[in-house]
Structure 1
Amino acid sequence: MKIAIVDDMHRDRICMVSYIKKYFSTRNVPYEIVEFSSGEEFLDQFVKDDYDLIFLDIYMKQKDGMETAREIYQKDPNVSIVFQSTSDEFGVASYAVHALYYLLKPYSEEEFIQAMDKYQQQKGFEEPVLDFVSERAEIQLEYHNIYFLDTIKRKTAIHTKDYVFLTSSTFSEISDILLKDRRFLMCRRGVLVNMEAIEKVESEMFRLKNGERVPLHLRNKSKIKQEYLSFMTERMHLQE
């Protein structure tokens, strides 16, 4: 799940991040938080289907939250928007962009949870699924079952714990989809690994939980290992 926080008040973004982390600490839901300090900054990189949920402040300098929301809705009417404001005067106007919820600052953790629970009721926190065709069969594979990705005989190989699916979809097509999820890491050209499947970091390899090993890019191995360490550190903090 990918969440954006668009707010020009740094302290309010910090508060929201802490609430989100605490909310998901008891839920087995992979997520990513991206912060933006203005509507312009967010819209400059926003593309359809990139975000699941957007927390959007209304009173911001230059482009305000309502104007930003209208542009978001034009590009992606399916994304969920939760407004945040120090005033309730835009409550009615928020319906025009099909806002999910309206948080009145300063809001409590309980009010935040109500907004998240409403999202769960409407959209749910389902594990992402990769759709592809293998040996003429349509396959739906939940992300947590994917260990790593590489190529075998000019076909993309999707490795699970004890099975390998071959598909004619290109490596770049599938890796571009999976890389939107924080769990996946490109460890060398043509090899993508699910960091949740890693059991041990070796000198030039990642050893996976099923005993398989995936090679690291030799020149960038320190950077790749650091990325994995950062991922694991984030996960440990969520359990605190």
Structure 2
Amino acid sequence: MLHIAIVDDNPSDIAIIKEYLTGYFKKRAGSSPIDYTLSAFQDGFSFLSSFSCAAYDLVFLDIYMPRMTGIDVARRMRLVDDGVKIVFLTTSKEHALESYSVFASAYILKPIAENQSLFVSALNRLLPDEMMSGRKLTVHLAGQSTLEIPFARILSVDCNNTRNAVVHLEDKDIPTQNTYQELSALLATDERFLECYHRLTINMDYVTSMEEDLFHLKGNHTAPISRRKKKEVKQGYLQYLLDK
């Protein structure tokens, strides 16, 4: 499931954004409905109280809000989650350059009706088909809490010295209480994932190149290729490229 948040102090603007998103997903889905949630907040504080790593896939932020601006909200978000996509929807170009400091994915001026093509192109770019499929991995964390991680954001999964699985995103590592066997079995049901080494599964969408004994992944990460399974691993990766 795709999780989207809208943070805007103007209820009318929230309603308009919801209307455009509903129309976009209906048109893009065709005969296969897209599973998503829309959560709305009228100030940054209430939003941040519900925010955690991987809680949302996409967040629409107004900039001019009382007590805390959208830029300030985004800065606090980035302390927790470097991967969530942020789109600013606001009435002024004044903070466009500043939005780069929080790695915003788009900056669109209101009203949306006057910039509808930018709105649609941003969604097309930020929500690739694999993310729209909505598959998520549910992991158990310390303290009996759970976390849903989109398959599309998982770089790799391996295990630590206690044999518990660690989920690696491009920007952070998430230790879990699950065993590696549990999570690797779930990931094996998705064609993007390949066990390239003993207790190491990678997301092939993140592979940038393959050497004799090594995969290079986005973000300067690497993953070794098992000598014993080298032929099988390489064939699996090449077949994945052919099938894409």
Task: Mark the CA change 1:7 to 1:123 in structure 2 (over 3 Å): closer, same or farther.
Answer: farther
Give 1:32's aligned residue.
37
Given the alignment, which residue of 99, 115, 130 partners 2:122? 115
Count of equivalent residues: 141
Given the alignment, which residue of 33, 37, 49 partners 2:54? 49
Q: Does 1:5 align with 2:6?
A: yes
Superposed counterparts of 1:110-149, under 5 Å: 110-121=117-128, 124-130=131-137, 133=181, 138-140=185-187, 141=189
Give 2:106's aligned residue.
101
Q: Which runs of 5+ in 2 are unaligned?
A: 139-179, 191-244
Distance 1:59 1:123 in 2: 33
State the TM-score, normalizing by the size of structure 1: 0.54
Q: Does 1:16 align with 2:17?
A: yes
Given the alignment, which residue of 78, 84, 87 partners 2:83? 78
- Deviation (angstroms), 1:115: 1.7
Distance 1:50 1:12 in 2: 23
Alignment partner of 2:56: what SS? coil
Distance 1:138 1:111 in 2: 40
Task: Mark the CA change 1:129 to 1:38 in structure 2 (over 3 Å): closer, same or farther.
Answer: closer
- Deviation (angstroms), 1:89: 0.9
1:107-153 Cα offsets, whole Å, 9 max, x none, are 2233321220120259842330447846x9723357xxxxxxxxxxx
Task: Mark the CA change 1:113 to 1:47 in structure 2 (over 3 Å): closer, same or farther.
Answer: same
Task: Mark the CA change 1:15 to 1:129 in structure 2 (over 3 Å): closer, same or farther.
Answer: same
Counterpart residue type for residue 139 of structure 1? L
State the TM-score, normalizing by the size of structure 2: 0.53
Distance 2:72 2:185 in 1: 41
Q: Which runs of 5+ in 1 are unaligned?
A: 143-240
Q: How large is the Cα RMSD of the aligned pairs?
A: 2.3
Alignment partner of 1:115: what SS? helix
Distance 1:29 1:51 in 2: 16
Task: Mark the CA change 1:37 to 1:123 in structure 2 (over 3 Å): closer, same or farther.
Answer: farther
Alignment partner of 1:25: what SS? helix
Give 1:87's aligned residue.
92
Give the fraction of aligned pairs with identical amino acids, expressed as a percent.
Answer: 33
Distance 1:123 1:78 in 2: 16
Distance 1:96 1:69 in 2: 9
Give 1:162's aligned residue.
none
